[in-house]
Protein backbone atom coordinates (compact mmCIF):
# COMPACT_ATOMS: atom_id res chain seq x y z
CA UNK A 1 0.00 0.00 0.00
CA UNK A 2 2.97 2.37 0.26
CA UNK A 3 2.75 2.99 -3.49
CA UNK A 4 -0.94 3.86 -3.21
CA UNK A 5 -0.22 6.30 -0.39
CA UNK A 6 2.17 8.29 -2.59
CA UNK A 7 -0.30 8.32 -5.48
CA UNK A 8 0.84 5.32 -7.55
CA UNK A 9 -1.76 2.88 -8.93
CA UNK A 10 -1.98 -0.59 -7.41
CA UNK A 11 -3.72 -3.64 -8.84
CA UNK A 12 -6.69 -5.00 -6.90
CA UNK A 13 -7.55 -7.88 -9.25
CA UNK A 14 -5.19 -9.29 -11.86
CA UNK A 15 -4.24 -12.37 -13.82
CA UNK A 16 -2.21 -14.97 -11.93
CA UNK A 17 1.47 -15.23 -12.85
CA UNK A 18 2.37 -18.66 -14.23
CA UNK A 19 6.08 -18.04 -14.81
CA UNK A 20 8.78 -15.99 -13.12
CA UNK A 21 8.96 -12.62 -14.95
CA UNK A 22 12.70 -12.71 -15.54
CA UNK A 23 12.53 -10.33 -18.51
CA UNK A 24 10.63 -7.68 -16.57
CA UNK A 25 13.09 -7.84 -13.69
CA UNK A 26 16.11 -7.97 -15.98
CA UNK A 27 14.89 -5.03 -18.05
CA UNK A 28 14.17 -3.00 -14.92
CA UNK A 29 17.64 -3.73 -13.51
CA UNK A 30 19.36 -2.87 -16.81
CA UNK A 31 17.48 0.42 -17.14
CA UNK A 32 18.29 1.35 -13.55
CA UNK A 33 21.96 0.38 -13.86
CA UNK A 34 22.60 2.36 -17.05
CA UNK A 35 20.69 5.39 -15.76
CA UNK A 36 22.75 5.42 -12.54
CA UNK A 37 26.00 4.98 -14.49
CA UNK A 38 25.03 8.02 -16.56
CA UNK A 39 24.47 10.06 -13.39
CA UNK A 40 27.49 9.16 -11.32
CA UNK A 41 30.37 7.96 -13.51
CA UNK A 42 32.77 9.39 -16.05
CA UNK A 43 30.91 7.42 -18.72
CA UNK A 44 28.08 9.94 -18.57
CA UNK A 45 29.03 11.97 -21.70
CA UNK A 46 29.44 8.79 -23.74
CA UNK A 47 26.17 7.24 -22.55
CA UNK A 48 24.12 10.40 -23.00
CA UNK A 49 25.71 11.17 -26.35
CA UNK A 50 25.11 7.64 -27.61
CA UNK A 51 21.77 6.60 -26.12
CA UNK A 52 19.70 9.79 -25.93
CA UNK A 53 17.40 10.44 -28.87
CA UNK A 54 18.19 13.66 -30.73
CA UNK A 55 15.61 14.38 -33.46
CA UNK A 56 18.17 16.24 -35.59
CA UNK A 57 20.69 13.34 -35.50
CA UNK A 58 21.37 11.34 -38.63
CA UNK A 59 22.36 7.80 -39.59
CA UNK A 60 23.08 5.26 -36.86
CA UNK A 61 23.10 7.93 -34.16
CA UNK A 62 19.43 8.56 -34.91
CA UNK A 63 18.58 4.84 -35.03
CA UNK A 64 20.38 4.02 -31.77
CA UNK A 65 18.69 6.95 -30.06
CA UNK A 66 15.24 5.68 -31.06
CA UNK A 67 15.73 2.67 -28.80
CA UNK A 68 18.55 3.69 -26.47
CA UNK A 69 16.74 6.63 -24.87
CA UNK A 70 14.79 4.10 -22.75
CA UNK A 71 17.93 3.43 -20.69
CA UNK A 72 18.50 7.02 -19.55
CA UNK A 73 16.50 9.02 -17.01
CA UNK A 74 16.57 12.57 -15.70
CA UNK A 75 16.54 11.70 -12.00
CA UNK A 76 15.49 9.26 -9.30
CA UNK A 77 11.78 10.07 -9.41
CA UNK A 78 11.71 9.73 -13.22
CA UNK A 79 13.47 6.37 -12.94
CA UNK A 80 11.35 5.13 -10.05
CA UNK A 81 8.07 5.96 -11.80
CA UNK A 82 9.01 4.13 -14.98
CA UNK A 83 10.43 1.08 -13.18
CA UNK A 84 7.31 0.86 -11.03
CA UNK A 85 4.96 0.93 -14.02
CA UNK A 86 7.13 -1.63 -15.81
CA UNK A 87 6.95 -3.91 -12.77
CA UNK A 88 3.21 -3.35 -12.26
CA UNK A 89 2.11 -4.18 -15.80
CA UNK A 90 5.07 -5.93 -17.42
CA UNK A 91 4.97 -9.11 -15.33
CA UNK A 92 1.53 -10.19 -16.51
CA UNK A 93 2.17 -9.19 -20.10
CA UNK A 94 5.39 -11.22 -20.08
CA UNK A 95 3.58 -14.24 -18.64
CA UNK A 96 0.76 -14.21 -21.21
CA UNK A 97 2.48 -12.70 -24.25
CA UNK A 98 5.89 -14.35 -23.86
CA UNK A 99 9.32 -12.91 -23.13
CA UNK A 100 10.50 -12.53 -26.72
CA UNK A 101 7.29 -10.83 -27.82
CA UNK A 102 7.25 -8.53 -24.82
CA UNK A 103 10.82 -7.47 -25.54
CA UNK A 104 9.72 -6.57 -29.07
CA UNK A 105 6.70 -4.76 -27.63
CA UNK A 106 8.90 -2.67 -25.35
CA UNK A 107 11.41 -1.68 -28.02
CA UNK A 108 8.87 -1.06 -30.80
CA UNK A 109 6.82 1.11 -28.42
CA UNK A 110 9.98 2.97 -27.40
CA UNK A 111 10.99 3.54 -31.02
CA UNK A 112 7.55 4.73 -32.14
CA UNK A 113 7.31 7.02 -29.12
CA UNK A 114 10.71 8.51 -29.97
CA UNK A 115 9.76 8.89 -33.63
CA UNK A 116 6.48 10.66 -32.86
CA UNK A 117 8.31 12.93 -30.42
CA UNK A 118 10.82 13.82 -33.14
CA UNK A 119 8.07 14.69 -35.62
CA UNK A 120 6.96 17.67 -33.53
CA UNK A 121 9.94 18.53 -31.35
CA UNK A 122 13.65 19.16 -31.78
CA UNK A 123 14.41 18.62 -28.08
CA UNK A 124 16.39 15.54 -27.01
CA UNK A 125 14.48 12.69 -25.42
CA UNK A 126 15.33 10.27 -22.60
CA UNK A 127 13.24 7.84 -20.56
CA UNK A 128 11.51 4.48 -20.89
CA UNK A 129 8.02 5.99 -20.81
CA UNK A 130 7.21 5.27 -24.46
CA UNK A 131 8.00 1.58 -24.11
CA UNK A 132 6.18 1.30 -20.80
CA UNK A 133 3.12 3.12 -22.12
CA UNK A 134 3.01 0.53 -24.90
CA UNK A 135 3.04 -2.22 -22.26
CA UNK A 136 0.29 -0.42 -20.33
CA UNK A 137 -2.07 -0.18 -23.31
CA UNK A 138 -1.32 -3.79 -24.25
CA UNK A 139 -2.09 -4.85 -20.66
CA UNK A 140 -5.41 -2.98 -20.64
CA UNK A 141 -6.50 -4.79 -23.80
CA UNK A 142 -5.14 -8.15 -22.67
CA UNK A 143 -6.64 -8.13 -19.17
CA UNK A 144 -9.91 -6.17 -19.40
CA UNK A 145 -11.20 -7.61 -16.09
CA UNK A 146 -8.21 -6.39 -14.11
CA UNK A 147 -8.99 -3.61 -11.66
CA UNK A 148 -6.82 -0.72 -10.53
CA UNK A 149 -6.98 1.38 -7.38
CA UNK A 150 -5.59 4.82 -8.10
CA UNK A 151 -5.91 8.17 -6.39
CA UNK A 152 -3.37 10.57 -7.93
CA UNK A 153 -1.13 12.90 -5.97
CA UNK A 154 -1.04 11.71 -2.35
CA UNK A 155 -3.51 8.84 -2.18
CA UNK A 156 -4.03 8.99 1.59
CA UNK A 157 -5.45 12.54 1.36
CA UNK A 158 -8.04 11.63 -1.27
CA UNK A 159 -8.72 8.36 0.54
CA UNK A 160 -9.69 10.33 3.64
CA UNK A 161 -11.97 12.59 1.57
CA UNK A 162 -13.59 9.62 -0.17
CA UNK A 163 -14.38 7.95 3.15
CA UNK A 164 -15.58 11.15 4.82
CA UNK A 165 -17.77 12.69 2.11
CA UNK A 166 -19.36 9.60 0.64
CA UNK A 167 -18.65 6.78 3.00
CA UNK A 168 -20.30 3.78 1.34
CA UNK A 169 -19.20 4.43 -2.24
CA UNK A 170 -15.76 5.46 -1.01
CA UNK A 171 -15.33 2.14 0.76
CA UNK A 172 -16.59 0.28 -2.29
CA UNK A 173 -14.02 1.98 -4.52
CA UNK A 174 -11.21 1.28 -2.09
CA UNK A 175 -12.16 -2.41 -2.06
CA UNK A 176 -12.90 -2.86 -5.78
CA UNK A 177 -10.92 -0.16 -7.60
CA UNK A 178 -11.76 0.74 -11.19
CA UNK A 179 -11.57 -1.32 -14.40
CA UNK A 180 -8.11 -1.01 -15.93
CA UNK A 181 -9.57 0.46 -19.13
CA UNK A 182 -11.16 3.31 -17.13
CA UNK A 183 -7.77 3.92 -15.55
CA UNK A 184 -6.24 4.00 -19.03
CA UNK A 185 -8.81 6.53 -20.29
CA UNK A 186 -8.16 8.81 -17.31
CA UNK A 187 -4.41 8.44 -17.83
CA UNK A 188 -4.83 9.35 -21.51
CA UNK A 189 -6.73 12.49 -20.52
CA UNK A 190 -3.76 13.48 -18.36
CA UNK A 191 -1.57 12.98 -21.42
CA UNK A 192 -3.71 15.49 -23.33
CA UNK A 193 -2.89 18.10 -20.70
CA UNK A 194 0.79 17.22 -20.91
CA UNK A 195 0.59 17.34 -24.71
CA UNK A 196 -0.74 20.89 -24.62
CA UNK A 197 2.06 21.88 -22.23
CA UNK A 198 4.67 20.23 -24.44
CA UNK A 199 3.49 21.87 -27.65
CA UNK A 200 2.46 25.29 -26.39
CA UNK A 201 3.93 25.88 -22.93
CA UNK A 202 7.45 24.45 -23.15
CA UNK A 203 6.61 21.46 -20.95
CA UNK A 204 9.52 19.11 -20.26
CA UNK A 205 7.50 15.85 -20.34
CA UNK A 206 7.08 14.25 -23.76
CA UNK A 207 3.42 13.33 -24.04
CA UNK A 208 4.17 12.71 -27.71
CA UNK A 209 6.55 9.93 -26.68
CA UNK A 210 3.93 8.44 -24.34
CA UNK A 211 1.16 8.52 -26.95
CA UNK A 212 3.38 7.10 -29.68
CA UNK A 213 4.36 4.23 -27.40
CA UNK A 214 0.74 3.63 -26.41
CA UNK A 215 -0.29 3.48 -30.06
CA UNK A 216 2.36 0.82 -30.67
CA UNK A 217 0.91 -1.25 -27.84
CA UNK A 218 -2.57 -1.11 -29.37
CA UNK A 219 -1.32 -2.03 -32.84
CA UNK A 220 0.76 -4.93 -31.53
CA UNK A 221 -2.16 -6.29 -29.52
CA UNK A 222 -4.51 -6.45 -32.51
CA UNK A 223 -1.73 -7.74 -34.75
CA UNK A 224 -1.16 -10.56 -32.26
CA UNK A 225 -4.88 -11.33 -31.97
CA UNK A 226 -5.07 -11.62 -35.75
CA UNK A 227 -2.31 -14.22 -35.59
CA UNK A 228 0.16 -12.12 -37.57
CA UNK A 229 2.92 -12.26 -34.96
CA UNK A 230 5.23 -15.30 -34.84
Distance set, CA 90 to CA 109, 151, 227 (Å): 13, 21, 21
Q: Check whether 93 has a pLDDT greater than 90.
A: yes
CB neighbour class for 54 (10 Å; exposed up to 12, middle 13-18, buried from 19): middle
- Quick check: 74 and 127 in contact, CB under 8 A? yes
Inter-residue contact 198 to 117 (CB < 8 Å): no
What ranges in 98-206 are assigned the alpha helix state H? Answer: 99-120, 129-142, 155-165, 167-176, 180-200
* pLDDT of 59: 95
pTM above 0.85, yes or no: yes
Domain boundaries, given as residue ranges, for the chain: 18-225
**Measured distance CA(184)–CA(78) in Å, rounded:** 20
Higher-scoring residue by pLDDT: 15, 142: 142
Largest CA distance in the chain: 59
Evaluate if residue 192 carries a pLDDT over 60. yes
CB 113 within 8 A of CB 212: yes
Class of domain 18-225: mainly alpha
pLDDT band, very low/low/confident/very high, at 4 (cuts 50, 70, 90): very low
Q: What is the mean pLDDT of residues 80-102?
A: 94
- pLDDT category, 5, cuts 50, 70, 90? very low
Determine what percent of the chain is predicted with pLDDT higher than 90: 68
pLDDT of residue 11: 63
Q: What is the structure's pLDDT at 65?
A: 97
169 contacts: CB under 8 Å, gap ≥ 6: 162
When pLDDT is cut at 50, 70 and 90, the band that residue 175 belongs to is low
Amino acid sequence: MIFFLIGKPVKVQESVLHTTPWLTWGLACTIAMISILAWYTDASPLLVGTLAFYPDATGWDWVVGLFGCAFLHAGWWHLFGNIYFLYLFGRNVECRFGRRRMLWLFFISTALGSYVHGLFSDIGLIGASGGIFGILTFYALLFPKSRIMWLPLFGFVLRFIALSVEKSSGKHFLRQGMPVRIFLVIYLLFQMILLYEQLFAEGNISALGHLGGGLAGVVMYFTWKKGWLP
